[in-house]
Amino acid sequence: MAGKRKLEKFAMVSTFPNTFQNFRWENPVLINHEEKEVVLSGKWRSEFFQNENPIVIELACGYGEYTIGLAERYPEKNFIGVDIKGNRVYQGAKYALENEMSNVAFVRTDIRQIEYFFAAGEIDEIWITFPDPFRKKRQAKNRLTDSQFLDRYRKILRQDGVIHLKSDSDIIYEYTKEVLEELKLPVYVDCDNIDEAEGLDPVLKEIQTRYEKIHRQLRQTIKYIQFGLN
């Protein structure tokens, strides 16, 4: 029954006008709700959002809680959630449509293809919230703050853009700091417990994904790093 429901969500999300999809490595183009190929790289502001506002993307957005939460709090910015799982993207995309949120879009694709769908400097901020920590050392290359992923982000993030990492995982927190130190990248905020820190953006506590709520129930501390790529 659960499998059938997932398939239904996969089918429905394909019909949403605020969602674009790509699954083919050999043909990295986006497909819209009319099943047509569209090129939005460099054109997100002019052709989809139809404004000149900053663009913020959330990687591995899951159900889109952070994408939606940020979009509701900052209507003067545009937000795009990126995730490979359609049944999760469905939740955020559906909410955005039902609430007529014109500053929200979703891209369903593998994050390793991210540079195909955005132009150089087109993105102002990147959020990475509660990513899979890939606990085994041999899996480190799959962590979303590994150097190979940072190289991808650098291709689309504006020169003075920032990246936000929020996680309960000591593994991803410490690993990210090691990568940033090795690459000599600027760290603007480094917090090992957002609940005890002062002066942080309130949005860090106000918006909580379902995963964060679970982690908090287990009394796990939430970490936050804000950094740049230049």
Catalytic residues: 132
Q: Distance (Å, rounded) from C-alpha 16 to C-alpha 95?
A: 11
Sequence letter at residue 92: G
Torsion of the alpha carbons at 146, 13, 207 and 158, rounded to the nearest 10: 50
Tokens found for residue 22 = 């790509």
Smallest Cα–Cα separation from 104: which of 89, 86, 119, 117? 89
Tokens found for residue 2 = 């659960």
Q: How far is CA 174 from the centre of its chain?
A: 20
Q: Distance (Å, rounded) from C-alpha 98 to C-alpha 112?
A: 30
Q: Are strands 104-108 and 19-21 parallel, antiparallel or unpaired?
A: parallel
DSSP 164: E
Cβ 106 vs Cβ 68: under 8 Å: no
**Cβ-based neighbours of 230, under 8 Å, separated by 6 or more:** 154, 159, 160, 185, 186
